[in-house]
Chain A
Amino acid sequence: MELIMPGLGVIFWMTLAFAIVVYILRRYAWKPILNTIKDREDNIRRSLKRSEKIEKEIKELKETKERIVSETNHEKVNIIEQAKKARDEILKEAREKAIEESKKIIEESKKIIEVERKKAEAQIKKEIAVLSIDMAEKILVSELSDKQRHKQLVLDSLEKISLN
């Protein structure tokens, strides 16, 4: 019987002791402990959320970067292509111009050459005229110095001429 009969004394002290333990632990132990645990859990939750956000942002940044890089690449290719085109055009133009210019130059030079030639020709003609007069002069002079032969010549000629 003694074993299963609650005793007033123990109940009284137990109630007192347990109530005090509940009070002390509630006030001085569970409050800080549970608050800290909750804080930590919130912290972890927040950090996870933040890291998730950051990850997302990083992903977005990466995408933006890739987009920009690809755009830049595209642009680069475009620019290069355009540059090539421009260069070709310029070259072509330059070549055409050069050809035209050279043609012009050649033409002009031809004209000049022609004029010069004509000039030279005229000069040469003049010179030849002078020279031939000189030579004729000299020939005439030398021919005329031999009076005997001239007399002969004239006599021969006169002989041939028959007075018919």
Chain B
Amino acid sequence: MVASEQKPGYAGNVRLFLLIVLLVLPVFTAFSFAYSESDAQKPGQTKEENGFDAGKLIIGHVLDAYEWKIAEIGDTYIYIPLPVILYYEGNFYFFFSNKIKKGEGTYKGFGIAREGHKKGRLVKMLDDGVSEDPDAGTLIDLSVTKVVFAIFINAALLCLIFVKVAKAYKQRGSKKEPTGLQSFLEPVILFVRDDIAKSAIGGEKYEKFVPYLLTLFFFIFFNNLMGLVPFFPGGANVTGNISVTFTLAFFTFVVTQIYANKGHWKHIFNTPGVPVFLKIPIPLMPVIEIVGILIKPFVLMIRLFANILAGHMIIKGFLSLIFVLGGVATAMGLAISPVTVLFLIFMNFLELLVAFIQSYIFTFFSAIFFGMAVPDEHH
């Protein structure tokens, strides 16, 4: 032990390096976030100086959008218009997002808000087409946005892949060894079943949670991976979107409450092994426990969201570095590009790792919450 501390091996060095990188990552993220905020506040200034606004690019990438931007070459703006579905004052409105012209125009009085708490979302506009109508009624926006569209694509691909693998399982049966994609996915399936479900829930009870945990794991993992693909249909920031992680966490929350048994509720309302004065007259423990069951999915939501968002931001940030410096002087941009590319490669590998780790963590914690919700009766 002492020897290994004095002379850290190669593996030790790598681990130390990774640890430092992982510790520094959030700081980076915070900075880039802060910069982009300030950039967004005074867009004119940066734009005129560089002709390239890194903050806008990064934020534009990680945010949801009503269209899927593919490329912008000179004045040509290539994008996929996506369907907008709105419900406003008893009427449904369907139209494609090319009607609102890169988000700058309005269609039937609807346009994208430029400031306020609804910034970036479709709102009812005043007649001038610039400012939001303060007296507008509730607008329900069920548009198929970029994130939603990406979810559809990824979900369809995921179903396709696994139904195909399942067919291989059915055809080959239990007497033959797995081959091809089947053998590639089987260790992961076994990993989720044995190392996540069985180890976190235990007993015989883990079996009914396995299909959900497998779906959760592969859904997150697949979306994480697709987010790393730099071009259509990948590249959408799906698992780095708070609505998506909220929904995933909500599903875990609902499944936990559905399967929770008597022991779980007893633990919440009459926590064993705790002095009575903490329960009566002020129900301190029940309140803490109830807050606890809400915090658990909340933490899941934040963790996945923040990690994937940070990854997307950093990759875009380093990419922007070339163009920011290129805006100052072309030579500087060229000079920095090899370093940036190297760092981007490194970041992509790191994100590959993060993609796996985050899906693992989300699934593992879900499994732990399930395990806590179904305690053995004799405890």
- Complex interface residues of chain A between 4 and 28 (CB less than 8 A to chain B): 4-15, 17-22, 24-26, 28
CA distance A9 to B64 in the complex (A): 11
Residues of A within 8 A of B247 (CB): 10-11, 14-15, 18
Distance of B48 from chain A, by nearest CB (Å): 25
* Contact B174 A10, beta carbon cutoff 8 Å: no
* Contact A9 B142, beta carbon cutoff 8 Å: yes
B322 within 8 A of A: no
Residues of A within 8 A of B42 (CB): none
Distance of A137 from chain B, by nearest CB (Å): 132
How many chain A residues sit at the interface, stated as a range, is 35 or more
- A-B pair number, CB within 8 angstroms: 139
A13-B142, A17-B152, A18-B251 are known contacts. Are A5 and B174 too (CB-CB below 8 A)?
Answer: no
* Contact A2 B63, beta carbon cutoff 8 Å: yes
How many chain B residues sit at the interface, stated as a range, is 35 or more
Pick the contact of B244 from A14, A22, A25, A40 — CB < 8 Å?
A14
CA distance A11 to B248 in the complex (A): 9
CA distance A31 to B170 in the complex (A): 10
B314 within 8 A of A: no
CA distance A22 to B62 in the complex (A): 26
- Complex interface residues of chain B between 226 and 258 (CB less than 8 A to chain A): 241-244, 246-248, 250-251
Pick the contact of A22 from B169, B170, B212, B243 — CB < 8 Å?
B212
Residue of A nearest to B177 (CB): A40
Pick the contact of A13 from B151, B173, B212, B242 — CB < 8 Å?
B151
B318 within 8 A of A: no
Residues of B within 8 A of A3 (CB): 59, 62-63, 242, 309
CA distance A34 to B186 in the complex (A): 10
- Most-contacted residue by chain A among B175, B210, B247 (CB, 10 A): B247
Q: Which of B19-27, B100-108, B157-165 lies at the binding interface?
A: B157-165
* Contact B215 A37, beta carbon cutoff 8 Å: no
Distance of B201 from chain A, by nearest CB (Å): 15
B286 within 8 A of A: no
CA distance A116 to B244 in the complex (A): 143
* Contact A10 B241, beta carbon cutoff 8 Å: yes
CA distance A35 to B49 in the complex (A): 63
B266 within 8 A of A: no
A13-B142, A30-B211 are known contacts. Are A18 and B169 too (CB-CB below 8 A)?
Answer: no
A134 within 8 A of B: no
B214 within 8 A of A: yes
Residues of B within 8 A of A30 (CB): 162, 166, 210-211, 214-215
* Contact A9 B189, beta carbon cutoff 8 Å: no
* Contact A2 B142, beta carbon cutoff 8 Å: no
A26-B215, A30-B211 are known contacts. Are A6 and B162 too (CB-CB below 8 A)?
Answer: no
B190 within 8 A of A: yes
B109 within 8 A of A: no
A51 within 8 A of B: no
- Complex interface residues of chain A between 38 and 59 (CB less than 8 A to chain B): 39-40, 42-43
CA distance A1 to B40 in the complex (A): 12
B193 within 8 A of A: yes
* Contact B193 A12, beta carbon cutoff 8 Å: no
Give 18 A-B pairs besides A3-B59, A9-B145 with Cβ atoms closer than 8 angstroms: A1-B119, A6-B243, A11-B247, A14-B151, A14-B247, A15-B250, A15-B251, A25-B163, A28-B162, A29-B165, A31-B211, A32-B169, A32-B170, A33-B189, A34-B193, A36-B173, A37-B193, A43-B174
Name 14 A/B residue pairs within 8 A (Cβ), A-sorted: A7-B243, A8-B141, A8-B142, A10-B145, A10-B148, A13-B142, A13-B152, A17-B155, A18-B151, A20-B155, A22-B212, A24-B163, A40-B175, A43-B174
Q: Using a CB–CB distance below 8 Å, which chain A residues touch chain B?
A: 1-15, 17-22, 24-26, 28-34, 36-37, 39-40, 42-43
